[in-house]
Structure 1
Amino acid sequence: MYRVSRVNHVVPIRSFFGLSGAKGGSQCYKITRKVSTPPDILYQVIADVSKYDDFVPFVTSSFVNKLDQKTKLPTEAGFRVGWKQYDENFTCKLVCSENKIVAESISISLFENLRNEWHLREVKSRFTKESSTLVEVVLKYKFRNPLYNTLSSLFHEQVSNIIIKAFESRAMDIKIQRKLGDRMNTGTID
Structure 2
Amino acid sequence: MPATTVTREVYYSPQQMFALVADVARYPDFVPNWQMVRVRPLDDTSYRTDQVVRFGPMRHTFTSTTSLQAPDRITVTSSDSPFKTLQLQWHFAVADDGGCRITLVVDFELKVRAFQAITSILSRESVVRMVDAFEHRAQDLYGPPNHASHE
Task: Bin the TM-score by the shorter chain.
Answer: 0.7 to 0.9
How far does residue 36 in structure 1 lie from its aligned partner after superposition? 2.0
Among 52, 61, 64, which residue is 1:80 paired with? Answer: 52
Partner of 2:62: 90
How far does residue 122 in structure 1 lie from its aligned partner after superposition? 1.0
Q: Per-residue displacement from partner, 1:117-139 (whole Å, max 9, x unpaired)? A: 000001242xxxxx311011111
Bigger Cα displacement from structure 2, 51-60 vs 165-174: 165-174
Secondary structure at 1:37 match in 2: coil
Secondary structure at 2:8 match in 1: strand
Identity of aligned residues (%): 23
How far does residue 158 in structure 1 lie from its aligned partner after superposition? 2.0
Partner of 1:141: 108
- The structure 1 segments of at least 4 consecutive aligned residues displaced by more than 4 Å after TM superposition are none
- Structure with the greater relative contact order (CA < 8 A, sep ≥ 6): 1 or 2? 2
Distance (whole Å) between structure 1 residues aligned to residue 109 and residue 68 of structure 2 = 23
How far does residue 68 in structure 1 lie from its aligned partner after superposition? 2.4
Q: What TM-score, normalized to structure 1?
A: 0.68
5+ long unaligned stretches in structure 2? 145-151
User: For the aligned residues, what is the CA RMSD?
Assistant: 2.2
Distance (whole Å) between structure 2 residues aligned to residue 30 and residue 155 of structure 1 = 11
5+ long unaligned stretches in structure 1? 1-25, 126-130, 178-190
Distance (whole Å) between structure 2 residues aligned to residue 167 and residue 78 of structure 1 = 20
Partner of 2:82: 110
Letter aligned with residue 115 of structure 1: Q
